[in-house]
Chains A and B, each alone.
Chain A
């Protein structure tokens, strides 16, 4: 049985890689700047893989490993759904499914002053933006966008929140609109908030709509676009039959 390949492959882009694979050799790539995304690390002269997944490349110089997990690795600029765990004098402590709790300053709201600090109870669901995510430190959040406006961030009232994987969240947020949301939106009216940390919130006027939307999203993870549309049609038919 041949163990050693006769010639090593030139590139692993768009292929599955496991931890330990060496995907780039820097010794013949001098004077280039590379941007390494998640899942890759530099080990002297080689770039090797840390997480199992598919290696992706985007022009001109970005490499990353695409994988789907149940936990989240905080990055600055992401919009996530957090749950308030505690409140201190200066910060709310918010759980965003990452390695540590995140801090949400009490003044990080549009028009926030010491006099109108919002009162969030423990367990409140918030749609927030990650401002800073430095390694080794707790991430910092904000309920405003980069220019200081509220922009839909803040507390999510009513509705239903469920957990998903980070891969499913990315698929729901992709553009053009992902097939399952497209098919659901044509027949039902609902609103959703998708956090990149693997949490999805759905709200609609009737509970049966909320349940159908939530089930459709949860089941769509491993289906192709066509299969997603077929599944949504079947679910909506069942909904119409029962009402």
Chain B
């Protein structure tokens, strides 16, 4: 039973992904993440000395500021801030720089569905760009549940509003390992089988939720490869020291970042059409 999506995608197909790093000159780390028409820009500053009053000084503190595209800042922005903060706290290694604060500023450029997963992906890429030590990466995805029980991935805003329920899920990325059994184990299960964050809106049955988890996890494998490819250092061919990231566009040179963005889009479209 096929479901017709407005933009012609199949149920499991994600929108074109584009990710760029190091776009802001003054921020210590920055990244933008685009899924179709949803675009989020994240800047990371830090670590800076000092923590807030209620925070534990033995650990590094992460503060998140969410800036909506328009309108005043209200309770929903505070909720997004809290969700992003908790997610990032679970992937950062907090005891490396005690008594410091890392500020993450999330700016929504356009919202066309799956806003929170897009923001979490961008925040993770920005933390890596800033060099904050992380345990692993986080990949986030949004799954929608239609009335017929059909699950679709990466909804647009219209689809989100017309569906019965949706869930956004954040998984650890798939890692490369020298060990044959792969990742580190947490309580007997490989770490990759875990879920970092899960939030739902609307009512769904337990079976539907477990289905969402399965589909979402399979899709994050593709997003993981996209993220990994984009986080590679851009280095000049005959220099073997340091990795050189193009900070300024020299006149006449095509910006490397734009080029990467186009390649990622084609790759994902062709990969998801065969899935």
Question: A: which residues have CB within 8 A of B?
Answer: 1, 3, 7-12, 16-25, 39, 41, 43-44, 46, 48, 50-54, 66-71, 73, 99-101, 135-136, 165-168, 170-171, 174, 218-219, 221-227
Docked Cα-Cα span, A39 to B172, in Å, equals 19
B133 lies within 8 A of A221 (CB): no
B236 lies within 8 A of A54 (CB): no
B11 within 8 A of A: no
* Nearest 8 Cβ contacts at the A-B interface: A20-B136, A167-B242, A69-B131, A50-B133, A22-B177, A19-B134, A224-B236, A100-B49
Q: List 27 A-B contacts (CB under 8 A).
A: A8-B177, A9-B178, A12-B178, A18-B227, A19-B135, A19-B137, A22-B177, A22-B184, A43-B184, A51-B133, A51-B134, A52-B233, A67-B131, A71-B130, A99-B46, A100-B49, A167-B242, A168-B244, A171-B244, A218-B247, A218-B248, A221-B244, A221-B246, A222-B245, A223-B244, A224-B238, A225-B239
Docked Cα-Cα span, A53 to B172, in Å, equals 19
**Which of B32-40, B72-80, B97-105, B158-166 forms part of the interface with chain A?**
B97-105
B29 lies within 8 A of A70 (CB): yes
B residues 179-226 with Cβ under 8 Å of A? 179-180, 182-184, 221-222
Residue of B with least CB distance to A17? B176
Residue of B with least CB distance to A97? B28
Docked Cα-Cα span, A73 to B179, in Å, equals 30
Docked Cα-Cα span, A7 to B246, in Å, equals 35
- Minimum Cβ distance to chain A for residue B162 (Å): 30
- Minimum Cβ distance to chain A for residue B200 (Å): 26
A23 lies within 8 A of B244 (CB): no
A219 lies within 8 A of B248 (CB): yes
If A51-B128, A99-B46, A100-B49 are given as contacts, then 8 extra A-B residue pairs at C-beta distance below 8 Å, sorted by A number, are A8-B176, A16-B233, A22-B182, A67-B131, A69-B130, A99-B100, A135-B98, A218-B247
A135 lies within 8 A of B243 (CB): no
Docked Cα-Cα span, A167 to B246, in Å, equals 12
Given A9-B178, A70-B130, A71-B28, does the pair A99, B245 have CB atoms closer than 8 Å? Answer: no
Docked Cα-Cα span, A167 to B235, in Å, equals 10
Docked Cα-Cα span, A219 to B227, in Å, equals 27
Given A3-B174, A11-B178, A68-B245, does the pair A171, B239 have CB atoms closer than 8 Å? Answer: yes
Docked Cα-Cα span, A226 to B236, in Å, equals 10
- Minimum Cβ distance to chain B for residue A230 (Å): 12
A99 lies within 8 A of B28 (CB): no
A8 lies within 8 A of B178 (CB): yes
Docked Cα-Cα span, A25 to B180, in Å, equals 10
Given A20-B137, A53-B243, A224-B236, does the pair A71, B47 have CB atoms closer than 8 Å? Answer: yes
Per-residue CB proximity of B148-170 to A under 8 Å, as 1/0?
00000000000000000000000
A222 lies within 8 A of B134 (CB): no
- Minimum Cβ distance to chain B for residue A208 (Å): 20
Docked Cα-Cα span, A18 to B275, in Å, equals 26
B178 lies within 8 A of A71 (CB): no
Contacts of B46 in A (CB 8 A): 71, 99
Docked Cα-Cα span, A198 to B134, in Å, equals 22
- Minimum Cβ distance to chain B for residue A164 (Å): 9
Residue of B29, B93, B231, B243 ringed by the most chain A CB atoms within 10 A:
B243
B54 within 8 A of A: no
